[in-house]
Amino acid sequence: MNIFHYKKQQGLTIIEIMIAILLSTLLLTGVIQIFVSTKHSYRIQDGLSRIQENGRFGIQMISQDVQMGGFYGCNDGQIITNHLNDSTDLQFQYDYSIAGYNDLTSTPALLTSANTSITPDTGTDVIIIRRPEGEPYRLAGISTKDNITIEAPSVISNLCNNSATMVNGFCPGDIMLVADCNKSIVFQSGTFTVSGTPPNRIATITHPTGSTPGNSKDEWGGVSDMPNQFANDANSVVYHLATIMYYVQTVNGIPTLFRYQNGDFDALVDGVEDMQIQYGEDTNNDGIADSYVDAFAYDATTQARWNSIVATKIKLLIRSVNNNLTEQTLSYSFNGNTVTTANMASDDKYIRREFVTTVALRNHAS
C-alpha cells in the first residue's frame, strides 16, 4: 500500500517575493501616473473654464454700465445742469457721461480723494461711467422752485440712515435726477414728506442748499434757456444717479477687477491682469465713432470731447488664478502686442486669454 505525504506550504522564496514586489510596483506606478495625468488635465481644464467664465462676466458687467452711460432722461443728456456744490468730486461729476485714464503711472488725485484704498495697478486703464440706476418715477404734480412731487407706490419706514423713510428706493440725501425731454437737472434730495394713500400716495422732495455736497441753488431756475418748472406729464421722471468706475488692482498677489459705485467698491473678478479701454470719438456729430483713441486729458477743457464719445472698445487680459498649469512659460498677445517668454519670469506658468468687445453708448450713438 502506497502512502503519499503532502508537504504543506511553508512560505515564499526570495525570488517569488521580488517578483511580487516588482509587479506591484509596476502596477502602482501606472496608477500614480494615471492619477497625476488626470489631475493635471483637470487643473488645466478648470483653469481654462475659470478664465472663460471670468472674462465673460467682466466684459458683461462693464458693457451693461457703458451702454447706459450718459442716459439723462429722454433728452439723451444733451442739456444737463448739475446743481451739486462739489461737482469736481469723482462721485458728482455728472457733466461727464464717461471718462477714464490711460496706462496709469500713479493713482490720480481724483481717485485717491474718493477712497485712499483705490490704487490701480500701473500700466492699466480706468473707466468711469455715470448713469441712472433703478426704476424711474413720474412726477405727480408740476414742480415748484422749492420741491418736486412724485408718485410713491413704495414707502418703507425706518429703512434709510437715521431711521428715515425710504420712498421708491430713494432716501433723503441721495443724488437724483429730474428730467423731461427738454432738460435734466442733477440735485441732492432733502426731506421727504409722504401724503395720501395708495394708489394716490405721493411724496414731496425738497432740494435745499444744505447737506453734503448740497445744492448750489434751492430752485430750478438760473439757466436762461430752461423753464423754471417740470410738468407732470409722461416724460417728467426722477431717477437715482450712480457714478461707477472699473479698475484693476492686485490684492494678495492676485490681480483683480474692482467695481466702484457711489463711494463703495467691491472685488468683481479674480485674475484680471490688465484692462485697456479705447474710446470711439464722434468728431462730426453724426452719432458714429470716427476713430478710437486712448483716454485723453480728463479736465474741464476736454469735457465736450468726452461727451462726444459714442462707443468704447474694452479689452481684458485674464490670467489663471493658479500658477504651474503649464510645463513651461507661455508667451501671449494682448492689445496688439506679443509678450515673449524672454520678458517673463521663469516660474511664470500661468495661462492667459484676451477678451475684447465693442460697446455703444446707446444714448450717444446714432
Closest alpha carbon to 69 in 339, 332, 314? 314
- Output the nine-digit C-alpha cell for 163: 431711521
**Are the CB atoms for 309 and 364 separated by under 8 Å?**
yes
pLDDT at 254: 94
Q: Give CA–CA dist 231/253, Å, rounded.
A: 55
- Output the nine-digit C-alpha cell for 150: 412724485
Give the three-class secondary structure for 164: coil
**CB count in 10 Å sphere of residue 264:** 8
Contacts of 116 (CB under 8 A, 6+ apart): none
Q: Give CA–CA dist 267/260, Å, rounded.
A: 9
**Are the CB atoms for 159 and 174 separated by under 8 Å?**
no
Q: What does the DSSP assignment read for 308-348?
A: TEEEEEEEEEEE-SSS--SSS---EEETTEEE-GGGS-TT-
Q: Give CA–CA dist 366/362, Å, rounded.
A: 8
pLDDT at 227: 63
**CB count in 10 Å sphere of residue 169:** 14
**Are the CB atoms for 262 and 242 separated by under 8 Å?**
yes
pLDDT at 7: 61
pTM of the shown model: 0.85
Query: Over its length of 366 residues, how does the chain's per-residue pLDDT go in tens digits?
Result: 566 556 666 667 788 778 878 887 888 887 777 767 777 676 777 888 899 999 999 999 999 999 988 888 776 656 688 888 887 789 899 888 899 999 999 999 999 988 889 999 999 999 999 999 888 999 998 888 788 999 999 999 999 988 899 999 999 999 999 988 888 889 999 999 999 999 899 999 998 887 788 888 777 765 555 566 788 888 889 999 999 999 999 999 999 999 999 889 999 999 999 999 999 999 998 889 999 999 999 988 998 899 899 999 999 999 998 888 888 899 999 999 999 988 898 899 999 999 999 999 988 765
pLDDT at 245: 96
The one-character DSSP state at 156 is E
Give the three-class secondary structure for 142: coil
pLDDT at 11: 64
Q: Give CA–CA dist 352/332, Å, rounded.
A: 7
